[in-house]
Amino acid sequence: MKNLLYLLVFIALGCTDDQPSQESDQANLDRLWSEIHAMAESVTCTSAEEWDFTAVGSKACGGPVKFLAYSETIDTVKFLSLVSEHRDAQEAFNVKWGIYSDCSTPQEPSGVACEEGEPVLQYGQ
């Protein structure tokens, strides 16, 4: 009888909702993306030579979701760390929640140009 009581207590404690939900995991991804996006958009594009781009996100089939331009005048160590954290979190999210996507790969840009103060990814020569 004592063992049954222990088992019931163990089950009751084990059934608490301390595990992250898909919604809370998504909220974390959204928070990271907001920080990345805010940093990337914090500088007006006036000189393309001061801009670079990086792959962001993680598709369920592998590879990045897209490419994002950023100014080399921001804290690039922090920025690229957030990009890496987001990629890893999205990869884990996809596995944990059984997410699937198309397996297309976004084309890698060849550079960045400035148009009306905005960075624009360039493709080709």
Give residue-wise pLDDT tens across range 8-54: 333 444 444 567 799 999 999 999 999 999 999 999 999 999 999 99
Please check whether residue 94 lies inside any domain of the structure.
yes
Please check whether residue 16 lies inside any domain of the structure.
no
How many structural domains does the chain have?
1
- Decide if 56 contacts 83 (C-beta within 8 A): yes
Among the ranges given (17-31, 48-62, 74-88, 90-104), the one the predictor scored with the smallest mean pLDDT: 17-31
Least Cα distance to 83 among 106, 64, 107, 104 occurs for 64
Please check whether residue 1 lies inside any domain of the structure.
no
Is 70 exceeded by the pLDDT of residue 2?
Answer: no
Give the residue ranges of DSSP H helices in 20-115: 22-40, 76-96
Q: What is the pLDDT of residue 57?
A: 97
Q: What is the pLDDT of residue 18?
A: 64
Distance CA 4, CA 111 (A): 66
Which helix (H) or strand (E) segment holds residue 45: the answer is none
Q: What is the pLDDT of residue 50?
A: 98
Please check whether residue 89 lies inside any domain of the structure.
yes
Q: What is the pLDDT of residue 42?
A: 97
Domain of 116 in residue numbering reads as: 23-122
